[in-house]
Structure 1
Amino acid sequence: MNLEAVNTLQELQHWLLTNQLSSKSLYIIGFFAVSALLIVLATKKLKVPIVVGYVFVGILFSGSVVKYFPFLSNLQTEWYTLIIENFSYVADVALAFIAFTIGSELSIKILKSLGKKILFIVLLESFGAFTLVTLGLLALGKPFYLALILGAIASATAPAATVMVLQEYNAEGSLTSTLLAVVGIDDAVALTIFSFAEPISLIRAQGTGSLSFTNAFLHPLLEVVGSIVCGLAIGYLSVKLMVNFEDKTKKVLTLTATVLGASSLAVLFELSPLIINMAVGFAYRNFVKKNLGIAEDLETLTIPIYAFFFMLAGTKIRITAVTSTTFLITSLVYTLTRATGKIGGASLGARLGQAEEKVKKYIGLGLLSQIGVAVALAYTVQRDFAAMPKVGLLVFNILLFTTAITEVVGPLAVKYAITKAGEAKSGELSRDRG
């Protein structure tokens, strides 16, 4: 580091101390923590999904709205916007744990027992959504790079809401078993599709460089394979260490160090933090016979992280963008083509896999929710398209806007499916969905 860089760094440190950036950040963190508690209380009473409340409050306190608050000066608004924009590390931490959770849903035993029908369903519903969304947006006149990136994100399904509904109704049967397996591995396929689609989109969007076998296929393949191998190795070493621990503190710190350490290595070696942590989660599920007893600790640990993640995601939405006719039409086409691809692809896959009749009819209705890895991928787009901020912002706005719809419709569709299939045993639909 040269002398000029050292002087610049010292000046920056002095400026941050003088303006008490850490204190201002603490004010906002405290405000969001209190807001999260109020959201939980309010959504329980209003009977709406918690995550919708998080996103809504995030929108309410986004930079584009806060600037109209009469009791804040221009300087205070600028400080607020600056600090919010620099909370991106919260998203990185949340996404790491989301990916780990996805991987921990993948059981080799369940996948083997369900056989080829799972393969057909997952591939056809994932690629069905990817293809139809891409073609639908191209037909709407959108640029190829935008259609491709949104198509790749559309292939993802959020397992959390679906699993919660199945648990609340004590659902049992072939449809339930198939649905659990599909949502467990769906995001693994989506991450792979995205890993190939995003580099192509980036090249086309920037208009520099040319597509070749190396940058369109070989580099993404090496990234995916390298991330999986590295994640499995880290996960294997971690579970072998954790299996000797009985103390809760050691378990929680081992898990936290593993997930965040894997993310750091992924960034260092230019691998995918999402895929590497999904592989770590897979190792935790399959590489040890003993129950590690970390599920409850993981859930507790991630409650505040996810709350901040979704509220910060909401702050990314620009109200002026989501109210335009063009945006609404784009979002509608995205939502309809994604739903058609998911439902139609899953039904066709079930038929090709010779699944039971009720699986053929209702499996697609359990795949509509998208919050989770889809928002994670939208964050990735925003980061990688930093030189083209309008692209990242548009993708983010579309994902969060349509997610608010699917988080309401999705769980209701799951309830309808298991009820019609005769697999809903008892209970009432939980209103604590996140």
Structure 2
Amino acid sequence: MSILLYVGLMLLCGLLFGRLVKFVGLPNVTGYLIAGLILGPYVLGILSFEAVENIGIVSEMALAFIALSIGAEFSKDYFKEVGLTPVVIAFFGATLTIVFVASGLIILGLEPSLAIMLGTIASATAPAATVMVIKQYRANGPVTKTLLSVVAIDDAIALIAFGFALTYVNSMAADGKGLLLSLLAPFIELFLSAIIGLVLALILLIPLHFFKKESNRMCAIVGILFITSSLADYLGASSLLACMFLGAVLININRESASIFKIADTFTPPIFMLFFVLSGAELDIFIIPSIGVIGVIYIIMRSIGKVFGSWFGAVLTKSEPMVKKYLGWTLLPQAGVAIGLSLVVDKALPQYSAQVRAVVLCSVLIFELIGPIASKIALTKAGEIK
């Protein structure tokens, strides 16, 4: 079938299931995921593996826009107001998740090297589903504001921790230069992502200065955003972090930044819907029986780590009571970054690839389905969804 036919079918089914789940009080994103799951190769097979692969560029586009919108939360005014609160919360949310997951798996009898790798992967959070819930319900308040900043920092910490864990597991102590380079690699990736985001943001100012019509500005924004994402991939940086830095730089150096991000938002609804339907199509529900005790412990300890770690960080920073109580529940979704890190394990540590892949894919399936629901409940109880 034609790719356009698949795209049209995905949009209509996403629309239908997004409406159906409203009757049971679930967020739209859950409906999109269910639509994809049903259409996908593991259930009805209407979307074949080949079709899912061919439409894969939609995922890159959607993640670029999501990262841009998260970066836009990093304004100077915001950090003047909250200080280092998001950094502290993200640090403890990520590191305590690593400690909880790794410790639980080691107690279970898993090899420490494998347990540490899974712990660092567990620290990653998927911003996409949570951002969609926030957009759908127009959530606003201290939990929402803190959440958007924490998610961005959280993924940066996850990438750095994973880099260190990979270095440790590879045991490169025999080669001092190799070890030093490996230890520096995650910081180099972070620095390179920041440079790419900064440079492309400055370049974007040129067309924004000369073009004032919204349609022209949209073309400029989309063009620079996609170049940022692809350039980061090409240079070995993180496309997600590069696009976040693009948004962060723009919000702080351009007086018209609010209208710029509003223009970008008008372009995204069908892309986001396609992204989540596609994400649902990639979920294999039949992999659940293979998860075993290791997977169950991973899921339980990750949930505890995220909730307790965020609470602990919020207590240390004397955050508002609602942030302490509900923020951790909004950080459960896990997807793209975790899958990406598991693919790195496939190549770098093939002896662990089968176990890591099974556990990560099962957790992604479960957290992507329950994560948006948990986020909606938490934001509602916090009084930020009316």
TM, length-normalised to structure 2: 0.83
* Residue of 358, 362, 370 corresponding to 1:397: 362
Q: Give the match for residue 287 of structure 1.
A: 253
Q: Which residue of 1 aligns with 2:18?
A: 40
Residues 243/141 of structure 1: CA separation in 2 closer, same or farther (3 Å cut): farther
The letter of the residue matching 2:125 is: A
Runs of at least 5 residues in structure 2 that lack an aligned partner in the other structure: none
292-301 vs 45-54, which moves further = 292-301
Alpha carbons of structure 1 residues 105 and 215: separation in structure 2 relative to 1, 3 Å: same
Alignment correspondent of 1:348: 312
Match of 1:189 among 153, 170, 173: 153
2:35 pairs with 1:66 = no
C-alpha RMSD of matched pairs (Å):
3.3
CA 1:48–1:355: 2 relative to 1, 3 Å: closer
The whole-number CA distance in structure 2 between the counterparts of 1:38 and 1:233 is 41
In structure 2, give the amino acid aligned to 1:407: P
| Offset at residue 254 of structure 1 (A) | 0.9
Higher radius of gyration, 1 or 2: 1
Q: Distance in 2 between matches of 1:163 and 1:348?
A: 24
Task: Report Cα offsets for 1:19-74 as digits up to 9, x if no partner.
Answer: xxxx533332222122122122222333211111111122222323236xxxxxxx
Deviates more, 1:302-311 or 1:362-371: 362-371
- Whole-angstrom CA distance in 2 between matches of 1:378 and 1:155: 6
Report if aligned partners of 1:125, 1:155 keep a CA contact under 8 Å in 2.
Answer: no
Question: TM-score, normalising length from structure 1?
Answer: 0.75
Q: Could you tell me whether the CA contact under 8 Å between 2:72 and 2:250 is conserved in 1?
A: yes
Q: Is the 8 A contact 1:153 1:377 kept in 2?
A: no
What is the letter of the counterpart of residue 81 of structure 2?
Answer: S
Cα distance change on mapping 1:310 and 1:330 into 2, 3 Å: farther
CA contact (8 A) 2:101 2:297 kept: yes
Q: What corresponds to 1:106 in structure 2?
A: 74
Amino acid at match of 2:43: V
Q: In structure 1, the residue corresponding to 2:283 is in which secondary structure?
A: coil
Structure 2 Cα separation of the partners of residues 208 and 114 of structure 1: 41
Report the CA distance shift for 1:353/1:394 in structure 2 as closer, same or farther (over 3 A): closer
Following superposition, the deviation at residue 340 of structure 1 comes to 2.5
**2:378 matched residue in structure 1:** 413
Distance of aligned partners of 1:45 and 1:129 in 2 relative to their CA distance in 1, 3 Å threshold: same
Which residue type is aligned with residue 270 of structure 1?
G
Aligned to 2:213: 247
Counterparts in 2 of 1:61 and 1:279: CA distance versus 1, 3 Å: same
CA distance in 2, matches of 1:210, 1:63: 46
- Any gaps of 5 or more consecutive residues in structure 1? 1-22, 68-76, 429-434
1:207-356 correspondence runs (5 A): 212-324=178-290, 326=292, 329-355=293-319
Partner SS, residue 211 of structure 2:
coil
Q: Tell me which residue corresponds to 1:17.
A: none
The alpha-carbon distance between structure 1 residues 50 and 340, as it changes in their structure 2 partners (threshold 3 A), is: same
Match of 2:8, SS state, is helix
2:229·2:243 contact (CA, 8 Å) conserved in 1? yes
Counterpart residue number, 2:95: 127
**Residues 119/325 of structure 1: CA separation in 2 closer, same or farther (3 Å cut):** closer
The CA deviation at 1:279 is 0.5
Alignment equivalent of 2:328, drawn from 343, 359, 367:
367
Give a deviation string over 1:147-200, Cα, whole Å, max 9, x none. Answer: 5245444343645267459845xx6xxxx43x3443232233222223234446
Aligned to 1:10: none
Residue matched to 1:156 = 125
Inter-CA distance 286–337: structure 2 relative to 1 (3 Å threshold): same
Verify the 8 A CA contact 1:382 1:392 in the aligned structure 2: yes
Asked if the contact 2:71–2:245 (Cα under 8 Å) also holds between the matched residues in 1, the reply is yes
Shift of 1:321: 0.9
Report the Cα offset of residue 412 of structure 1. 1.1
Q: Distance in 2 between matches of 1:325 and 1:385?
A: 18
Asked if structure 1 preserves the Cα contact closer than 8 Å seen for 2:21 and 2:31, the reply is yes
Contact 1:152–1:190 (Cα < 8 Å) also in 2: no
Cα contact 2:306–2:332 (8 A) shared by 1: no
Mapped to 1, the partners of 2:325 and 2:295 lie a distance apart of 20
Q: Which amino acid aligns with 1:350?
A: A
Q: Per-residue CA shift, 1:333-353, capped at 9, x if unaligned?
A: 334323332332233323333
Distance 1:164 1:304 in 2: 14
Q: Which amino acid aligns with 2:131?
A: A
Q: Distance in 2 between matches of 1:384 and 1:209?
A: 21
